[in-house]
Amino acid sequence: MVDDQWDVILIGAGQNNFALGTYLGMAGLKTVICESRLENGGRLASEEITRPGYWHNTLAYFQNNRAVSPVWQELDWDNGHHAEFVSPPVISSLLLPDGQSISHHQFLEDTLSFVAKFSRKDAIRWCETHVKFRQIIRDRLIPYYYNQPGNQEIAAKMAEDDAGKEFKRLWQMTPKQVVDELFENDAVKTLVLSQMTIPRGVGMDYPGGGIEVLKMIAGDEKPELARGGSHSIAQVLQRAYVHNGGQIRAVHHVEKILVEEGRAAGVRLRDGREWQARLAVVSSTDPYSTFVEMVGDEYLPRIFIDRVKDIQPDEFSYFQVHLALKAPVRYALHEANDPAVGQAMNVNMGPEKPDDLDEMWKEIRAGEFPRHVCLHAICPTAFDPLQAPRAKHAASLFMPVPFQLKGKKPEDWVKLKNGFMDGVLNIWRRYATNLTDENIEMKVAMEPFYIAGRWPNMRRGSVWVARKVASQMGELRPIEELANYRTPIEGLYQVGVATHPADAVIAGSGHNCWRIIKQDLGL
Partner 1 sequence: MFKSSKFKVGQVQNRAMAKILEYDGVVIGAGHNGMICAGYLGKCGQKIMVVEKNMEVGGGLDSHEDRNYPGFWHNIHSVFHRGLMMLPWYKDLELENFGIHYYRPDPGVVHHFLDGSYLGWFADVKKTAETIARFSKKDAASFMDLWTRWQPVVQKIVFPETYAVPLPFEEKKPLLEKTAEGREYLRYFETTPGDFVVDHFEHPRVRAFLGFLGVMRGYELDAPKTGYLIPAMIAWGVNPQLCRGTSHALGDNLAHMMSHNHVDYIEANGVERILVEKGRATAVVLEDGTVIRARKFVASNVNPVETFIKLVGRENLEPSFADLAANFRFSKTTPIFAVNLALNERPKYITEERFPEVAGAFMHIVGLEEYQELVDLFDDCRAGRLPRKPFMNGATPSYHDPTQAPPGKATAFMWQLMTYNLWGNPLNWDKARSQWSQKQLATWRRFAPNLDDNNILSMDSTTPLDIERHDRNMYCGDWMIGEYSGDQALENRPFPGWGQYRTPIEGLFLCGSSCHPGGNITGAPGYNAARVIAESLGIKTWWHPLDFREHLKGLA
* CA 103 to each of CA 76, 112, 213, 382: distance values in angstroms, whole numbers, following the listed order: 33, 9, 15, 17
CB of 297 to partner 1, least distance (A): 22
Consecutive H or E run containing 325: strand 317-325
CB of 53 to partner 1, least distance (A): 5
Consecutive H or E run containing 281: strand 274-283
Task: Identify which of residues 236 and 424 has a Cβ nearer to partner 1 in the complex.
Answer: 236
Q: Which of 132, 134, 157, 239 binds partner 1 (CB under 8 A)?
A: 239
Does residue 109 interact with partner 1 by CB under 8 A?
Answer: yes
Task: Identify which of residues 59 and 482 has a Cβ nearer to partner 1 in the complex.
Answer: 59
Q: Which stretch binds partner 1 (CB under 8 A): 49-57, 60-68, 172-180, 511-519?
A: 49-57
**CB contact set of 419 (below 8 Å; sequence gap of 6+):** none
Task: Identify which of residues 106 and 172 has a Cβ nearer to partner 1 in the complex.
Answer: 106
CB of 111 to partner 1, least distance (A): 9
Does residue 293 interact with partner 1 by CB under 8 A?
Answer: no
Does residue 123 interact with partner 1 by CB under 8 A?
Answer: yes
CB of 152 to partner 1, least distance (A): 39
Does residue 2 interact with partner 1 by CB under 8 A?
Answer: no
Asked if residues 230 and 46 have their Cβ atoms less than 8 Å apart, the reply is yes
Task: Identify which of residues 32 and 178 has a Cβ nearer to partner 1 in the complex.
Answer: 32
Does residue 243 interact with partner 1 by CB under 8 A?
Answer: yes
| Antiparallel, parallel or unpaired: β 344-349 and 90-95 | parallel
Does residue 221 interact with partner 1 by CB under 8 A?
Answer: no
Interface characters, 348-387, with partner 1 (x: CB under 8 A): -------------------------------------xxx
Report residue 57: phi and psi, to 5°: -85, 115
Does residue 242 interact with partner 1 by CB under 8 A?
Answer: yes
CB of 235 to partner 1, least distance (A): 6
What distance, in Å, lies between the first and last C-alpha atoms of the chain? Answer: 27
Question: Restricting to residues 297-326, which ones interact with partner 1 according to CB under 8 A?
Answer: none
CB of 46 to partner 1, least distance (A): 5
Does residue 48 interact with partner 1 by CB under 8 A?
Answer: yes
Does residue 52 interact with partner 1 by CB under 8 A?
Answer: yes
- The closest of 438, 440, 220, 225 to 344, measured between CA atoms, is 225
Q: Cis ω on the peptide bond leading into residue 389 (within 30° of 0)?
A: no
Q: Which three-class secondary structure state does DSSP give residue 76?
A: coil
Task: Identify which of residues 367 and 389 has a Cβ nearer to partner 1 in the complex.
Answer: 389
CB of 273 to partner 1, least distance (A): 11
DSSP secondary structure of 33-53: EE-SSSS-STT--EE--SSTT
Does residue 207 interact with partner 1 by CB under 8 A?
Answer: no
Task: Identify which of residues 331 and 450 has a Cβ nearer to partner 1 in the complex.
Answer: 450
| Antiparallel, parallel or unpaired: β 85-86 and 225-226 | antiparallel
- The closest of 11, 20, 75, 12 to 511, measured between CA atoms, is 20
Question: Restricting to residues 431-490, which ones interact with partner 1 according to CB under 8 A?
Answer: 444, 446, 450-454
Consecutive H or E run containing 324: strand 317-325
* CA 48 to each of CA 61, 229, 251, 322, 509: distance values in angstroms, whole numbers, following the listed order: 14, 11, 20, 10, 30
Interface characters, 66-105, with partner 1 (x: CB under 8 A): ---------------xx-xxxxxxx--------------x
Q: Which stretch binds partner 1 (CB under 8 A): 41-49, 148-156, 279-287, 430-438?
A: 41-49
CB of 328 to partner 1, least distance (A): 14
Does residue 1 interact with partner 1 by CB under 8 A?
Answer: yes
Q: Please tell me the distance from the alpha carbon of residue 469 to that of residue 473, in angstroms, as a whole number.
A: 6
Considering just the CA atoms, what is the radius of gyration of the chain in Å? 22
Q: Which of 16, 46, 148, 462 binds partner 1 (CB under 8 A)?
A: 46
DSSP secondary structure of 117-178: HH-HHHHHHHHHHHHHHHHHIIIIIHHHHTS-TT-HHHHHHHTSSHHHHHHHHHHHS-HHHH
Does residue 116 interact with partner 1 by CB under 8 A?
Answer: yes
CB of 409 to partner 1, least distance (A): 14
Q: Which three-class secondary structure state does DSSP give residue 403?
A: coil
Q: Which stretch binds partner 1 (CB under 8 A): 183-191, 221-229, 313-321, 370-378?
A: 221-229
Consecutive H or E run containing 495: none
Question: Restricting to residues 253-292, which ones interact with partner 1 according to CB under 8 A?
Answer: 253
What is the amino acid identity at position 68? V
Q: Please tell me the distance from the alpha carbon of residue 179 to that of residue 191, in angstroms, as a whole number.
A: 10
Q: Which residues bind partner 1 (CB under 8 A)?
A: 1, 3, 38-40, 46-49, 51-53, 55, 81-82, 84-90, 105, 107, 109-110, 112-116, 120, 123, 227-229, 231-232, 235, 238-239, 242-243, 245, 247-253, 339-340, 342-343, 385-387, 389, 414, 444, 446, 450-454
